[in-house]
Amino acid sequence: MEEMAAEKWFQLGFHAEYPEDKIRCYSRVLEVEKDSLIWDDEAIALVWTNKGIAHSDLTEYQEAIRCFDNALELNGNNPDIWYNKGIVYS
């Protein structure tokens, strides 16, 4: 049940038009997943990355970096996370 809830929130965030809505949905995924521990590190890193991109779109750069750092803790070899973090610094 929790896995379905997390997946639903992820899909809503992925398809949301506005960054604020994306952030709300991805935050919900992380909240649900924190209790269920069903998703693997790579999947959770993607949620953090997408949340970071949404914060970056809102020019909330410190929060974006925090999200990318959380993603890198889970999947530090993913070049997409490093790329997105670099964009924030540019």
Residue 76 DSSP code: T
Domain locations in the chain?
Answer: 2-89
User: What digits encode the pLDDT tens for the residues 3-57?
Assistant: 678 899 999 999 999 999 999 999 999 998 877 777 899 999 999 999 999 999 9
Tokens of 84: 């997105």
Q: What is the pTM of this model?
A: 0.93
Cβ–Cβ < 8 Å for 84, 56? yes
Cβ–Cβ < 8 Å for 26, 50? yes
In CATH, what number does 2-89 get?
1.25.40.10
Pairwise CA distance, residues 19 & 11, whole Å: 14
Alpha helix stretches (DSSP H) within the chain? 2-15, 19-36, 41-57, 61-74, 79-89
